[in-house]
Amino acid sequence: MKMTNMMAAAFAAWMLASPAAAGLLDDAWLMGTTNKDPLTYKPGEEMVFTVTPRGLDGSVPADAYFLEWKRSDDYGKVEQGKVPFTGEPFVYKTSLDKAGFVRLEVYVVDRNGRRYAKKFTGDATTPEGRKAMNAFERRKKAVFFDGGAGVDIGSLSTHEEPKDFDAFWAGQYKRLDLVPVKADRIEIKCANPKARLYAVRIDCAGLRPVTGYLSVPKAVDEGLTFPCRLETHGYNGDRCNHGTPSWARDNEIVLNMNAHGLKLVEFGATDADTKALRWEVRSHDCTYAFDAKQNEDPEVAYFNGMVLRVKRGLQYLKTLKGWNGKDLLASGGSQGGLQTIWAAACGEGVTQAESGVTWCCDMYNNNVRRDRKISSDGWYIPWTESMGYYDAANFAKRIPKTCRTIITRAGLGDYCCPPMGLAKLYNNIPGNKQINWVQGSEHGYVPPAYEGRDFVRNAQ
């Protein structure tokens, strides 16, 4: 009996120290701050990161978990290590001797080095609980911090652009001039009684038309006018889909266009059409836009048709009854953010561009980063000289000051769209601009709000 009690006590102690301790980390996250504004360091100046656990449900058992950390920078230097996770702040000091960014990644791991994966602890038997569980399943499960700090970032400049950049695009836009702005549209059901929804198809230069969904406030029928907005999509791989919306805003005219000019169901698209397009957009077994061979010729690069469709979408909006004739907006995130920069710079008079986590900034150096295995998620298009014609940072130089350009989010832990590229994008915009830097933010993740997370820059 005595032995049994001893065994039970030992088992209980093991359970307490086990990484499986229920709930301890399932609401936890790591909050990262620096000893000063993270965008203001000078070469060689000491950076002090403090990573503080938040949301712990109890005290951390001794030796159950560890913080695995990795420090890297834009030039390839890497340091890494592991310390016990006690629930107390982790302080890390480093520096960088030239303009660029330092990245610090910190993950909670178990004794075997496995990253902790959160578990859903809510009640999934109710509609609210199922909704919460579905939201949970879409989130990253690790307990982590991924952020950084920059040195002398205002001095960062891009790789030399093509010498005939403007002449090239003048020639491409002439192709568009040969195609009249002509559209077909089919009205569809809208749940907002104050707006109308349409499926639209707009003639365009290139292989495919502009397609998407147009929403128009019904007040246009009464003579009222509104701003027009072009909404663009993020990268969706081979899915090539554009679901029919059911709701529309009634305070703007909005064209929500897909990146491919795909055939919509309202115009007779079938599953066979969608499957065929998935194969059509691939090249040399690469998902669209990633084929270096195709990209050697800037006129056949996949992005060529996308730029022309963006410009045509804006041209179409300006023909619509109900536009107020002055407010022309563009917005999107990631690949949509890239298209938003194209929209602002393509000469159609965009007055406000809202580009989030902008993809394909400083594409040359993104490729160098990948080749040298510098911190990244690898989601970079292989470099060819032709890609200089499509780089968001090069287009940024052509954005007029009449356009208010807002980089709505630039993550200091986003290495799909690295901070160095976002800084160069911002530096290249002539003026009337804003960038919202977010500490601890990856491409698809934003930590809860806290003091020391958000840093905004403005310039006129």
Kindly report which listed range (59-63, 105-109, 443-447) carries the lowest average pLDDT score: 59-63
Give the relative orientation of helices 335-345 and 302-317 as an angle to the nearest 10 degrees.
60
Q: In 119-252, where does DSSP find H-type helix?
A: 127-137, 165-177
- E runs forming strands in 218-306: 226-231, 253-257
Q: Are 92 and 68 in contact (CB under 8 A)?
A: no
Q: Residue 128: what pLDDT? A: 87
Q: State the Cα–Cα distance between residues 400 and 403, nearest whole angstrom.
A: 6
Q: State the Cα–Cα distance between residues 330 and 351, nearest whole angstrom.
A: 8
152 Rama class: left (phi>0) / alpha (psi -120 to 50) / beta: left
CATH number of 166-459: 3.40.50.1820
Where residue 14 falls among pLDDT bands split at 50, 70, 90? very low
Q: Residue 362: what pLDDT? A: 96
Query: For residue 320, is pLDDT > 60?
Result: yes
Q: How many CB atoms lie within 10 A of CB 6?
A: 10
| DSSP-based three-state secondary structure for 187 | strand
Where residue 8 falls among pLDDT bands split at 50, 70, 90? very low
How much is the mean pLDDT over the chain? Answer: 93
Q: Residue 6: what pLDDT? A: 43
Intrachain domains 30-155 and 166-459 with the same fold: no
Looking at CATH, the fold of the domain delimited by 30-155 is given as: Immunoglobulin-like (2.60.40)
Domains in the chain: boundaries: 30-155, 166-459
The rounded Cα 457 to chain-centroid distance in angstroms is: 19
Of 160, 233, 232, nearest in space to 391 by CA: 160
Compute the average pLDDT of residues 218-240.
95
Kindly report which listed range (46-60, 110-124, 210-224, 332-346) carries the lowest average pLDDT score: 110-124
Q: List the structure tokens of 310.
A: 């963006």
Q: Residue 377: what pLDDT? A: 84
Q: Are 310 and 346 in contact (CB under 8 A)?
A: yes
Compute the average pLDDT of residues 276-294.
94
Q: Residue 340: what pLDDT? A: 98
pLDDT digits (tens, 9 = 90+) for 162-198: 999 999 999 999 999 999 999 999 999 999 999 999 9
Q: What DSSP letter does each residue of 302-342 carry, written as one string?
A: HHHHHHHHHHHHHHHHTTSTTEEEEEEEEEEETHHHHHHHH
Q: Residue 1: what pLDDT? A: 38
pLDDT digits (tens, 9 = 90+) for 388-415: 999 999 999 999 999 999 999 999 999 9
CB within 8 Å of 380: residues ≥ 6 apart = 363, 366, 367, 369, 370
- E runs forming strands in 259-319: none
Q: List the structure tokens of 383.
A: 């470099």
Of 275, 264, 268, 342, nearest in space to 310 by CA: 342
Of 442, 439, 407, nearest in space to 423 by CA: 407
Is the torsion defined by CA of 103, 106, 111, 117 positive or negative?
negative
Compute the average pLDDT of residues 325-350.
98
> What are the backbone angles phi and psi of residue 333, rounded to the nearest 5°?
-125, 145
Query: For residue 11, is pLDDT > 50?
Result: no
Q: Are 146 and 105 in contact (CB under 8 A)?
A: yes
Maximal CA-CA distance, the chain: 93
Where residue 231 falls among pLDDT bands split at 50, 70, 90? very high
CB within 8 Å of 407: residues ≥ 6 apart = 337, 355, 356, 358, 422, 425, 426, 433, 434, 435, 436
Where residue 123 falls among pLDDT bands split at 50, 70, 90? confident
CB within 8 Å of 90: residues ≥ 6 apart = 50, 51, 52, 67, 69, 83, 106
Instruction: Enumerate helices (H) and strands (E) in the chain, giving the number of each.
Output: 9, 17
> What is the percent of the chain where pLDDT is above 70?
95
Of 402, 389, 396, nearest in space to 170 by CA: 389
Q: Residue 122: what pLDDT? A: 84
Where residue 343 falls among pLDDT bands split at 50, 70, 90? very high
Residue predicted with more confidence, 129 or 202: 202
Position 305, amino acid: G
Q: Residue 219: what pLDDT? A: 98
Query: For residue 22, is pLDDT > 60?
Result: no
- Tell me how long the chain is: 460
CB within 8 Å of 9: residues ≥ 6 apart = none
Q: State the Cα–Cα distance between residues 296 and 385, nearest whole angstrom.
A: 7
Residue-wise burial string across 340-353, b where 16 or more C-beta atoms lie within 10 A, e elsewhere? bbbbbbbebebbbb
